[in-house]
Amino acid sequence: MQARRPTVSPEGSVASCDGPIGTRSPLPRINFEREFGAASGALPRSYQRRTPETSALYAVVRDNLETFLDDARMRSTTGTGYPHFIESEFQRYLDCGILARGFARVRCASCGFERLVAFSCKGRLCPSCWGRKAADVAAHLVDRLLPEAPYRQWVLTFPWELRFLLAMDRRFLTEMLRVFLRTLFAWQRLRGRRAGIQDGRPGAVTFIQRFGSVLNLNPHFHSLHSDGLFVESGKERLSFVPLPPPTDEDVQFLVTRLAERLGALAQRRMAQAQDRPPWDLEDDAPVLAAHADAIHLPGPRLLPNIEASTSEISKPLCAKVGGFSLHAARTVEASDREGLERLCRYGLRSPLSLERLSHDPDGQVRYRLRKPWIDGRTEIVLEPIAFLRRLAALIPAPYTNLVRYHGVFANRSRDRFRLPLPPAVEPANAPLPDAGSLDPEGGEEVAGADSATPIVRPRRLGWAQLLRRVLNVDALICPKCATSMTVIAFLTDPPVLRRILEHLNLPSSPPLRAPARSPLDEVGLFADEDSGDFDDGWFDQESGEENARAPP
C-alpha cells in the first residue's frame, strides 16, 4: 500500500492527498472573501513619510518669508504689515510635517516595528493639509448627506471688475450666492411644475473657490445640485424625482437673468463701497495691493489665441453674458458614488499643486499650467516675493465657510433628516468601526434599509482611513508582519525629540529660515521723499495720488 501525503505544486497550490505519491490532482478553485470585494480590491501601497522640506514651495517660503513680511511692513502706512492670520499660516506651514516639531510613535505589537508620524499644521496654506480636509469633507458629504441621485455641477464666474470686491467683502459674496441659488431653485421648481411635480424641493452644496488656474484671485462658485426634486412620498422619507437635463437655451436664459440680477446688486454694492469702503486704506494697504495684483495674470499681456478662444465659447451647456459665465456640463450618475466623491474633492481642492511648482537656481518660481492659457502660454514665472503675495491673497480669512448648504441640504432645513439614506460604504474602500468600539459622540447610528442592524458612521475619518480611501495607502499596517499598528506616544518635548531623532540619524532641528533682505539699496533707503528720489510704488509723484497699483 502506497503512502499518501500532501504536495505543493511549483505554483504554490496544494495538491490532493487522494492519489499516490507523484501524482498531482489540483483542488477545485475556491474564492473565499471575508468581506465583499476583498479579493478583487487593489492591494494597499506602502506608506512613505511626507517630506515637505524637500519641496519647491517649502524652499521658497523658507528663503523669502522674512523678506516678504518685512516688505509688507514697509509698504504699510502704520507699519503693521499683513494681518496676523496670514503670517500665522506661513509660519505654521514651515512647521508642518517636520519631525523636529513633534511626532507620534506608532508601533507593531507583534514584531516591534516602529514608525514616526510627524504632526500636520491643518492650515489653509499647506496643500497637503488642505487636501486632507477636502478628502474629509467629500467623504462626509458622500457617506452621510448626499442621497443616491444624479447630480450636476453649476459653475458661475464673475467679471474681473467685481472680483476685488467679492474677495474683500464677505457679505457681498454671500448676497451674490443667495441670488444665484434662488434663481436656479426657482427655475428647477418651475420645470417641476411643468412636469406635474407639485411642491418640489431642490438642494445644493456650493464650494466657494477664491482662485483661478493661474494662481489669480478669482472668487467663483462650484454649486453641486441634485438633477431633480425631492417630493413627499407618503412615508417618513422623501423621494427623489429626476428632471430632464437642461439645454443650451436654458443655460443661456439663466445666465441672462443672472447677469441682470447680479449686475444690479453689484452696482448698488459698489456705490456703497465708494462711500463706506469695507476696508481700511492704512491698515489693509498690503492686503489691498496683493489682492489688486493677484486679480490679473502675471507677466506681459500676450495676444489671445483665436483657436483657443473659439473653443472656449463653443462649449456645450456654457454661456457668457456681460462677463458672467455659467457652465453646467459636468454631471454624475446616481450609481457613481466614487465619481461624486471625486467631484466634491475637485470643488474643495487646494489652489496650489506641488507637482506643477518648481524654482530655478536663480530664484525664479515657475508654475506649470494644467492646460495652455488662452494666449498659448504653458507656465507663469514669478519673483519669489510676488509669488508669496499671490499666495497671501488666496488665503481665506478666518471663520470663512467655503462650503455652503442650501435647500433640503441646509443645516436648518426640516427636510434634511427626511432625505433618503445614502448607500452604505463598502468596507474595502472605507472600513467602518464596530459599534462597540466607537465613542457614542463620535458617530451616529443609521438604520439600514434592508436590515434592522444600524450602521455606525463616523463623523470624521481619521488620517489613516483618509489615506487608504484616497491614495490606497495603509499607514497603520506593519510592513514586516502585516498586522495592525497602534499609537503608543505623542511627543512634543524638544529634548526628547532631539534624543530620538539623533539616535535614528534624522535631522533633530527644523530648517533655518533665511533672514530678511532689504529690497531697497542704500540710496533709495535714505533718499528724501520731497526730492523725488523716493518711490515706493504707491503714489504718483507728480499728482500725489495713488497709481494703478492701488485697488480698483
Closest CA to 551 of 386, 399, 401, 393: 393
What integer is the mean pLDDT of 442-464?
Answer: 50
Quick check: 251 pLDDT over 80? yes
Cα–Cα distance between 176 and 403 in angstroms, integer?
15
Q: Which cell goes with 383?
A: 519673483
pLDDT of residue 463: 78
State the average pLDDT over residues 34-54.
71
d(CA 490, CA 497): 10
The rounded distance, in Å, linking the Cα atoms of 367 and 359 is 8
Spatial separation of the C-alpha atoms in residues 395 and 125, rounded to whole Å = 7
Q: How far apart are the two ends of the chain, measured CA to CA in Å?
A: 100
Phi-psi region at 32: left, alpha or beta (left = phi > 0; alpha = psi -120 to 50): beta
Question: Rounded to 5 degrees, what are φ and ψ at 546?
Answer: -70, 140
3-state secondary structure at position 446: strand
* Separation between Cα atoms, residue 182 and residue 29, nearest integer Å: 59
Q: What is the pLDDT of residue 437?
A: 32
Confidence (pLDDT) at 294: 86
Question: For helices 56-75 and 84-95, what crossing angle results, to 10°?
Answer: 160
Predicted TM-score (pTM) of this structure: 0.79
Q: 223: closest CA among 82, 488, 402, 390?
A: 402
Judge whether 510 and 94 are in contact, CB under 8 Å.
yes
Does the structure show a pLDDT above 90 at 433?
A: no
Band of residue 295 on the pLDDT scale cut at 50, 70, 90 = confident
Measured at the alpha carbon of residue 98, what is the angle toward residues 92 and 104, in degrees to the nearest 5?
A: 105
**154: phi then psi, degrees, rounded to nearest 5:** -110, 120
Rounded to 5°, angle at Cα 482 from 481 and 486? 100
As given in the structure block, the three cell numbers for residue 232 are 413627499
Q: Is the pLDDT of residue 510 over 70?
A: yes
The pLDDT tens digits for 120-149 are 898 999 999 998 899 999 999 999 899 999
Q: How many other CB atoms are there within 10 angstroms of residue 517's CB atom?
A: 12
Q: Is the pLDDT of residue 531 over 70?
A: no
DSSP H helices in 27-169: 56-75, 84-95, 127-140, 160-168
Q: What dihedral do alpha carbons 257, 259, 265, 270 form, nearest 10°? A: -170
Q: Which residue has the higher pLDDT, 235 or 22?
A: 235
> Are 367 and 380 a contacting pair, CB within 8 Å?
yes
In the chain, the largest separation of any two C-alpha atoms, in whole Å, equals 116
Domain boundaries, the chain: 1-30, 136-353+401-410
What is the C-alpha separation between 44 and 57, in angstroms, rounded? Answer: 28
Helix, strand or coil, per DSSP, at residue 286: helix
Long-range contacts of 116-123, Cβ-Cβ distance < 8 Å, separation of 24 or more = 116/49, 116/500, 116/504, 117/49, 117/475, 118/49, 118/50, 119/492, 120/96, 120/463, 121/92, 121/93, 121/95, 121/96, 123/88, 123/89, 123/92, 123/93, 123/96
Which amino acid, residue 231?
Answer: V
* pLDDT at residue 393 is higher than 60: yes
Least Cα distance to 202 among 231, 236, 222 occurs for 231
Query: What is each CA distance from 303 to 297, 373, 375, in whole angstroms?
Result: 13, 11, 6
pLDDT for 22 equals 46
The order of strands in the sheet holding 151-157 is: 318-321, 324-332, 151-157, 217-226, 203-211, 403-407
User: What pLDDT does 44 receive?
Assistant: 60
pLDDT tier at 49 (50, 70, 90 boundaries)?
A: confident
Output the pLDDT for position 464: 81
Question: 478 near 111, Cβ under 8 Å?
Answer: yes
Q: For residue range 82-102, what is the model confidence (pLDDT) as tens digits?
A: 889 999 999 999 999 999 999
Residue 34 has pLDDT above 60, yes or no: no
User: pLDDT at position 79, please?
Assistant: 78
pLDDT of 12: 38
Nearest to 332 by CA among 154, 142, 143, 150: 150
Q: How distant is the alpha carbon of residue 128 from its chain centre?
A: 9
Angle between helices 170-194 and 160-168 (to 10 degrees): 110
CA 29, 34, 40, 46 dihedral sign is negative
Closest CA to 534 of 82, 74, 78, 79: 74
**Residue 516 carries which side chain, given as an amino acid letter?**
A
What average pLDDT is seen over the chain?
A: 80
User: What is the grid cell recorded at 513?
Assistant: 529660515
Lowest mean pLDDT among 165-179, 198-212, 275-289, 474-488: 275-289
Of 530, 146, 150, nearest to 334 (Cα)? 150
**Please, which pLDDT band fits residue 548 given cuts at 50, 70 and 90?**
very low
